[in-house]
Chain A
Amino acid sequence: SYALTQPPSVSVSPGQTAYITCSGENLGRKYVCWYQQKPGQSPVLVIYQDAKRPSGIPERFSGSNSGNTATLTISGTQAMDEADYYCQAWDTSAHYVFGTGTKVTVL
């Protein structure tokens, strides 16, 4: 079955750039979405179609996808960005697959 792997945690200093990776076989051939989830809250869509931002999502969130790896980039990271982040892709056999999740800590 198709699997998406993310690093368990990423630490970043305020104002610096955070890179969150998502790895899967030939992931670059699929579209990837990214979700942010803060403790006790429902997920929020922050990126769709690899690199597009929904209305209301700050420009500091960006995405890319090539080869076997998709990346969510948070530029000028703020304390409010501390959360869990999940990638998601659609697979023909499994339908939706979520990544393992990455906890972003802003130190």
Chain B
Amino acid sequence: VQLVQTGGGLIPPGGSLRLSCAASGLTVGSNYMTWVRQPPGKGLEWVSILYGGGRTYYADSVKGRFTFSRDISKNTVYLQLNSLRAEDTAVYYCARDLDGGGYYGMDVWGQGTTVTVSS
């Protein structure tokens, strides 16, 4: 079971970026998937969750700017980041959430991808 992330990079404020997370050994369409980020030298921050039925929820800090989606045919999830701000600078992780409600935790994590928002 593996999650491989791509995307990330240096983006100017106000710019956009799409992060990808390709799954193997698990099916994104039948699992809860999440994004968690970690600013440089700081702690973990939950960003978004995609439930198996397709519902999405977002942290207040990214609501209206980030969009979580999936392509079942590619077994890949995506995080579209728009209107980026300096405070969005972080390592972004995708992870499988075993139950979507905090019972069983996030048991599989991607390797992380760095997003730097700077002019």
Contact = CB atoms under 8 A, between A and B. Distances in A.
Label chain B's interface by main secondary structure.
Answer: loop
B103 A96 contact: no
A49 B109 contact: no
Interface residues of B, number: 24
B76 interface: no
Contacts of B49: 95-96
Instruction: Determine the interface band of chain A, counting residues with CB < 8 A from chain B.
Output: 20 to 34
Given A43-B44, A95-B59, A98-B43, A49 B103 contact: yes
Contacts of B57: 95
Interface string A32-44: 0101010000111
B39 to A, nearest CB: 12
B107 A54 contact: yes
Interface of B: 34, 36, 43-46, 49, 57, 59-60, 93, 95, 98, 101-107, 109-112
